[in-house]
Chains A and B, each alone.
Chain A
Amino acid sequence: MAITGQGTSAGSDAAGAAAPPPQDLVNCTINGVAVSVPKGTRIIEAAEAAGIGIPYYCYHPGLSAPAMCRMCLVEIEGAPKLQPACVTVVGEGQSILTESAKARAAREGNLEFYLLNHPLDCPICDKAGECKLQDYTHAEGRKHGRVVEPKRVLNQDDFGGDVLYEGDRCIMCTRCVRFMREIAGNDALCVVQRGNRSVIDTFFDEGLDGDLWAGNIIDICPVGALLSKDFLHKARAWDLDRSPSICPNCSQGCNVYVDSRDNLIMRLRPRPNPEVNSYWMCEEGRLEYEWYNRANVPTGTIGMADTIGGGPNPTGRCERPMVRDAQGRLQAATWHDAVVALVQRLGGLRGENGVLAVASPAHANEDVALLHRLAQVLGGGDAVFRVRTAPSEVVCPGFPKLARRRELAANGRGLRAVGFRRVGDDAGAGGLDELTTAGKIILVLGDALADVPETFGADAALFVYLGSEPGPAVRNADFILPVTNFVEQEGTFTNFEGRVQRFWPALEPPPLARPAWQVLGVVLAGLDDGPAPADAASAFLRAAELYEAFGGLSYEVIGGRGALLNEPVQLGAGAAEGA
């Protein structure tokens, strides 16, 4: 929405862009600040755009506004009553006051009503610290309560799925009811009873079990009435580190926050992006985070002793570079020694029998682009990936752009964009048997090769494994290079529709793990193929230079909301001719 303060020039407009047509703008003042907004804008949106906060509970930008919490009442000069900012459309010439004595008194009075039956059990409430009732009461509530009457007491209710309901804390904003009706398309919740006996409930025993979208009601609950069983009493809100990231569990690429404490993921929450997931995410993405939450290896262990010749270690990580010595034993090496030895071996084999590159679709565009490049530099060959695939797509009824996609990994599209092809079955296994490995250089990135026979790669000229977890893949590997997983590094994923989206590091990697793009960049530099990129942004630029699909993109262009492959912003006429 183009909203500009009056008197400031259109500084945000890019050079050459035409100013918006003036006839559709409405002018008003909010707390004396002149604001111009498109016709039909609601006061709450206009105020937010002008940087003026109006408290609210029932309003949510992704849902309908019932105007029932009465927190956003504002004074419009000349109007006899206070008006709810969430539904009142800005009128020409209006003077809107959010901090007038009348508006403040109404909020203070309203907050007192909210606390009447609220248990004030913040010390044991998961929402404490990010609770709107706490925030607004601290800001504007009465200093002393006047209630001497006993409070109404309700019990905890298990709504099914991941959701618990604490009726006593509920402020009846009905966001959850509206979400289930309008977005999840499943009228599973309703208000029963009326007056202050009102309570949110499910229909008899039919709860939220099996609803793919129900977890979002926990996020949008402004108080601690709806709780996640998964997150229950796991962490206090103020102890959490929040990192913007991308959900890796399907090719939709929902924008998320990874909330972590002590280097462990505590929960995931959706991060708004109107192009991808609106304000929502699905349960499969939200709850399946343990597989990339494995930074808890005790320090000092090599982390793979019991994997060599043994089964996979579910909590172990590749901790340090390992190189197979002349006696066929894996020996720990410094990064310097490992990379020098690798470059030497690769240099000798370059161009001889070709390459088999296997990449995991959980690795970033930067990683897979440089892996593909390395394969090409070494003489080219097969570049493949395997990915788990669900039988069907599950579309979000109220926001059809969002779906749990069939491909259950983040970066299949990115892999295809740089030249990998998919092999194997829908379980993400198989497909490697028909590819010959004899005499080849095998480069494996991230794929633990859980299903391959014991002899896989034994006949290869060289077997390099870059991964964060040791698995059967390492049995015959000559080099094991510990790399970070996506949640420990900066990078980008390309989602199903070709939207390249950035993610940021949320967890500390094991001390010696390095991003794969960094390792591959150094190896490429050792093979005289360009300078090694110093950071993820340069690695991406390198990928954009090498692969047409990423042409024209950069971290600046991608920004916070992503950009489509081969669809860089149009800088002006003629810019598109390079294609």
Chain B
Amino acid sequence: MSAHAAKKCQLRLYIAGSTPNSARAAENLSAALDRVDGSREALGLEVVDVFAAPRRAVTDGVIVTPTLIGLHGSGRTVLIGDLTDTGKLHGLLRSLLAPA
């Protein structure tokens, strides 16, 4: 898997403006990307603010915020919440880095 191909946005974080849960999720994700080696370089991150782009929430099937979606091939892993559960967050990042 080339780094270039992996850059094709494998992580999407849906937040609701700067609400406390969303702000915390953004911070926690940023910290995790620093902690998990190579993740920031390998995984492309798109942050979607549902207040700014509400139609994305409906089309992408986002029910709650914050929601982190990890895309891998045809499947996707959904992690909801403010990402304070670092164990689950790191696990998700690692599974995306691991070769299919």
Is the A/B pair a real complex? Answer: no
